[in-house]
Chains A and B, each alone.
Chain A
Amino acid sequence: AQAQDVDFDKGKTYTLGGLEVTGLKSFNEQTVITFTGLRVGQEITIPGEQLSEVINRLWDLRLFSDINFYQTGVEGDKIFLELEIVELPTLTDAKIVGVKERKAEGVLEEADVKKGEKVTEGFLANTRNYLVNKYKKEGYLNTKVYINTIPDTTQANGVKMVINVDKGEKVKIRDINIEGNEKLSDGRIRKAMKNTKQKVFGRFWKKSKFIPEDYQEDLKSIVNKYKESGYRDARVLSDSIIYNDDNSISIDLEVEEGNRYYFGKIDFVGNAAYTDEYLQNLLGIDEGDVYNGVLLAEQISDPNPDANTIENLYQNTGYLFSSINTVEVAAVNDTIDFEIRVNEGKQAYLNRVEVVGNDKTNDHVIYRELRTRPGQLYSKDRVVRTIREIGQMGFFDPETIDIQVLNPNPQNGTVDLQYGVQEKGSSQIELQGGYGGGGFIGTLGLSFSNFAIKDLFNKEAYKPIPMGDGQRLSLRLQASRFFQTYSFSFSEPWMGGKKPVQFSVSLSRTLQFQFNPLTRDVDRDQRFVINGITLGLAKRLRWPDDSFQLSHALSYQSYELQNYFGFQSIFPFPDGNGTSNNLAYTVALTRNNTSVNPIFPMRGSLFNLSLKFTPPYSLFNNVDYANLGDDPEFQTLNPQGEVVPDEGKISQEKLRWLEFYKVKFTGAWYTNIVDDLVLKSGFEFGFLGAYNQDRGVIPFERFFLGGDGLGNFTLDGRENIQLRGYPNQQLSSNVGSTIYNKFSLELRYPITLKPSASIYALSFAEGGAGFDGYEEYNPFELKRSAGLGVRIFMPAFGLLGIDFGYGFDRVPGATEISGWQTHFIIGQQF
Chain B
Amino acid sequence: CSEYQKVLKEDDVKKKYEMAEKLYSEGDYTRAIRLFDQIVPNYIGKPQGERIIYFYADSYYQKEQYYQSAYQFERFAKSYPRSEKVEQAAFLGAKSEYLTSPKYSLDQAETKEAIERLQVYINSYPESEKLEEANAMVQDLRRKLDKKSFEIAKQYNTISDYFASIKSFELFLKDNPGSEYREDALFYKFTAEYNLAMNSIYSKREERLNNAIETYNVLLEDYAEGQYREDAEDMLTDINKELEQFSK
Does chain A bind chain B? yes
Interface residues of A (CB under 8 A from B): 28, 30-32, 34-35, 37, 39, 351-352, 355-364, 367-368, 373-376, 468, 494, 497-499
Nearest CB of chain A from residue B129's CB, rounded to whole Å = 23
Interface residues of B (CB under 8 A from A): 45-47, 49, 80-82, 102, 104-107, 109, 148, 151-152, 155-156, 158-161, 163-164, 166-168, 171
Interface contact B166-A375, CB-CB below 8 Å: yes
Interface contact B152-A363, CB-CB below 8 Å: yes
Of the candidates A37, A361, A375, the one whose C-beta lies within 8 Å of that of B167 is A375
Interface contact A367-B152, CB-CB below 8 Å: yes
A468/B107 contact (C-beta < 8 A), A31-B45, A364-B155, A373-B156 known = no
Most chain A CB atoms below 10 A, which of B104, B105, B161, B163: B105
A351/B171 contact (C-beta < 8 A), A34-B47, A37-B82, A364-B151 known = yes
Interface contact B159-A363, CB-CB below 8 Å: no
Of the candidates A358, A361, A368, the one whose C-beta lies within 8 Å of that of B155 is A368
Task: Find the A residue at minimum CB distance from B78.
Answer: A57
A376/B106 contact (C-beta < 8 A), A30-B46, A351-B171, A367-B155 known = no
Report the Cα distance A468→B106, complex, angstroms. 9
Interface contact B159-A32, CB-CB below 8 Å: no
Query: 6 new A-B pairs (CB below 8 Å) besides A368-B155, A375-B167, A376-B163?
Result: A37-B80, A356-B109, A359-B106, A368-B159, A374-B167, A497-B159
Complex interface: chain B residues within 8 A of A362 (CB): 105-106
Q: Please list 17 pairs of residues, one from A and one from B, whose beta carbons are closer than 8 Å in the complex, sorted by A's number.
A: A30-B46, A32-B45, A37-B81, A351-B167, A356-B107, A357-B107, A358-B106, A359-B107, A362-B106, A363-B148, A364-B151, A364-B155, A373-B161, A374-B156, A374-B164, A375-B166, A498-B159
Interface contact B171-A363, CB-CB below 8 Å: no
Complex interface: chain B residues within 8 A of A374 (CB): 156, 164, 167-168, 171
Task: Find the A residue at minimum CB distance from B109.
Answer: A356
Most chain B CB atoms below 10 A, which of A28, A39, A367: A367
Of the candidates B47, B104, B155, B163, the one whose C-beta lies within 8 Å of that of A375 is B163
Interface contact A360-B106, CB-CB below 8 Å: yes
Complex interface: chain B residues within 8 A of A361 (CB): 106
Nearest CB of chain A from residue B159's CB, rounded to whole Å = 5
Most chain B CB atoms below 10 A, which of A39, A356, A373: A373
Report the Cα distance A515→B205, complex, angstroms. 73
Of the candidates A34, A373, A499, the one whose C-beta lies within 8 Å of that of B163 is A373
Nearest CB of chain B from residue A495's CB, rounded to whole Å = 12
Complex interface: chain B residues within 8 A of A494 (CB): 159
Task: Find the B residue at minimum CB distance from A374.
Answer: B167
Report the Cα distance A374→B192, complex, angstroms. 14
A498/B107 contact (C-beta < 8 A), A31-B46, A367-B152, A375-B167 known = no
Report the Cα distance A361→B158, complex, angstroms. 19
Task: Find the A residue at minimum CB distance from B174.
Answer: A351
Complex interface: chain A residues within 8 A of B148 (CB): 363
Nearest CB of chain A from residue B143's CB, rounded to whole Å = 16
Report the Cα distance A355→B166, complex, angstroms. 19
Report the Cα distance A628→B106, complex, angstroms. 66
A497/B158 contact (C-beta < 8 A), A358-B106, A362-B106, A363-B152 known = yes
Interface contact A363-B163, CB-CB below 8 Å: no
Nearest CB of chain A from residue B97's CB, rounded to whole Å = 15
Nearest CB of chain B from residue A113's CB, rounded to whole Å = 21
Nearest CB of chain A from residue B188's CB, rounded to whole Å = 14
Task: Find the B residue at minimum CB distance from A363.
Answer: B105
Nearest CB of chain A from residue B83's CB, rounded to whole Å = 10
Report the Cα distance A32→B106, complex, angstroms. 44
Task: Find the A residue at minimum CB distance from B167.
Answer: A375
Complex interface: chain B residues within 8 A of A364 (CB): 105, 151-152, 155
Nearest CB of chain A from residue B111's CB, rounded to whole Å = 12
Interface contact A359-B102, CB-CB below 8 Å: yes
Report the Cα distance A39→B81, complex, angstroms. 12
A363/B161 contact (C-beta < 8 A), A30-B47, A32-B45, A37-B82 known = no
Nearest CB of chain B from residue A408's CB, rounded to whole Å = 16
Complex interface: chain A residues within 8 A of B151 (CB): 363-364
Complex interface: chain B residues within 8 A of A359 (CB): 102, 106-107
Question: Top 10 closest A-B pairs, CB basis?
Answer: A375-B167, A373-B164, A374-B167, A362-B105, A31-B45, A363-B105, A374-B168, A375-B163, A358-B107, A374-B164
Task: Find the B residue at minimum CB distance from A421.
Answer: B107
